[in-house]
Structure 1
Amino acid sequence: MGALTASDGVQVHPWLRRLAANGGSPRDLADAVHYLCLLHGNHPGVIDLALNHARGSLERDWLEAAAEAFVAEREFLVRIVAAAGPLPSTPGHAEAEAAAQHQRHALDMLAQSDRAGCATGAALALALDWDAVRDVLDAAATRLGLIAPRSTLPLAEETIIVVDTLVREMSVERAMLFGAQQMFAQHRGLFDLLEARASARGKH
């Protein structure tokens, strides 16, 4: 899972790295937080939904801790969106909105999968990917004069240990990796969309 995060996680996306380094305009950062809120700003989210499919105590304990921590992340995200103001005017907005809604639906379905390990894999990947996403949120908060709270999501090292233990105890490696790969792919797709929207704004 650690190797998969390094190779497929959203941290490898050049547009995320640019935004996280304050390389985007205020409009680009506002666009990013609005769309991240569309994916992860509602309750129940991926981790909450996955909790309903937990089958073992270790799995449930990790998901409960992550779900509780993500409440603060969601509140932080919503605060940034409110401070950022309206979504930047962008050509092709209706198509982009539809694509993001489709992504949200795909994540909801993934987090409700009855295949043992799949939903938890998606939740684990979200927590691992969130470190990189948080860099963008922190950059936006800094631009807006907001103070970013410390994330209390489980540390990546702890999450990897949970993954290794679950794989040994429950034989769910393939399903868990599938869930994780799908989560990473949706996040990369979102930043593809954000980059395309920024390019469209730059041409008008």
Structure 2
Amino acid sequence: MLLDTAPIEHLSGAWGPMGALAGSDGSARHLHLRALGAAVPPRRDLADAVHHVARLHGRHPGLIDYAAGHAQRPVECEWLEAAAEAFVEERAYLVRLVAAAGPLPSTPGHAESEAAAAAQRHALDMLAQSDRAGCATGAAIALAIDWTAIRAVLDRAAASFGVEPAPARLPIPEETVSVVDALAREAAHERAMLFGAQQVFAQHRGLWDLLEARASARSHG
């Protein structure tokens, strides 16, 4: 299943609150992510992004794998299984990019950055292993939604570092929408799903905030 590279916001009318949340809080709106899509972004900024995305999502088991172990309904189990299988290739892609990017760029305040990155990893792990019905699935759905914007940065880094980008194969947005619509029929499940998604979007915003601060520190260091 090939990932639709068009912005997912165009589907917001079909899935209500989740679509609105993706449109308002998703990574695509962050100025630093947009800067990395500029004509000639600094290679060290791209390398920094690759390393930090890999720290959050390059491990196994990851967010989607954990969420699959907490799914309760057949519709979410099927979606999570497909997403987890696709993310195996995304992790392999991240490994290749990290190797091509070289060492983590030297940056003032590195210890503070390490602590912030560790806190983000911990927060995502806790969300993905939540026993609150719908929370972990919402977190996984938010990752799949946000991965479109994140993948664009990774592909930009691949071009800069001479890595052939592989096609992403996460569930297409229309499939994700149908899962959200099915799970949203129960109010409590929808609330938990939206909470999980909101928290993942917040952690991703924190990631781009961190990368922006590190880029600024390097340019002024």
* TM-score of the aligned structures, taking structure 2 as reference length: 0.90
Matched, 1:114 2:131: yes
Corresponding residue number in structure 2 for 1:126? 143
Aligned residue identity for 1:86: P
Counterpart code for 1:148: P
Q: How far apart, CA to CA, are the structure 1 residues paired with 2:141 and 2:39?
A: 27
Give 2:112's aligned residue: 95
- The count of aligned residue pairs is 204
Match of residue 46 from structure 1:
63
Deviation of 1:20 (Å):
2.6
Aligned to 1:165: 182
Q: Any residues of structure 2 matched to 1:156-195 within 5 Å, and which?
A: 156-168=173-185, 171-195=188-212
Give distance in 1, aligned partners of 2:156 and 2:80: 27
User: For 1:109-154, what per-residue CA distance to the aligned partner results, in whole angstroms no more than 9, with x for missing partners?
Assistant: 0000000000000000000000000000000000011111110001
How far 1:168 moved relative to its partner? 1.4
Counterparts of 2:123 and 2:204, CA distance in 1: 11
SS of equivalent to 2:61: coil
CA contact 1:13–1:188 (8 Å) conserved in 2: yes
Report SS of the residue matched to 1:159.
helix
2:5 alignment counterpart: none
Where does residue 26 of structure 2 map in the other structure?
Answer: 9
3-state SS, counterpart of residue 157 of structure 2: helix
Find the counterpart in structure 2 of residue 152 from structure 1: 169
- TM-score, normalised to structure 1's length? 0.97
Deviation at 1:165, TM superposition (A): 0.8
Give the aligned CA root-mean-square deviation in angstroms. Answer: 1.1
1:34 paired with 2:51, answer: yes
AA partner of residue 147 (structure 2)? W
> Residue type matched to 2:80 in 1?
L
How far does residue 170 in structure 1 lie from its aligned partner after superposition?
A: 7.5
**Distance (Å, rounded) in 1 between the aligned partners of 2:85 and 2:37:** 25
Q: Secondary structure at the match of 2:104?
A: coil
Structure 1 residue 56: Cα displacement? 1.0
The offset of 1:169, in angstroms, is 5.5
Divergent runs of 4+, >6 A: none
Give the distance between the partners of 1:77 and 1:12, measured in 2 at CA. Answer: 23
Provide the identity percentage: 68
Name 1:20's counterpart in structure 2. 37
Contact 1:22–1:139 under 8 Å retained in 2: no
Structure 2 unmatched runs, 5+: 1-17
Letter in 2 for 1:19: L
Q: CA deviation at 1:158?
A: 1.5
2:185 alignment partner, SS class: helix
Shift of 1:21: 3.3
**Partner of 1:172: helix, strand, or coil?**
helix
- The amino acid that maps onto 1:196 is A
Cα separation, partners in 2 of 1:22 and 1:72, compared to 1, 3 Å: farther
Give me the whole-angstrom Cα distance separating, in 1, the residues matched to 2:175 and 2:69: 21
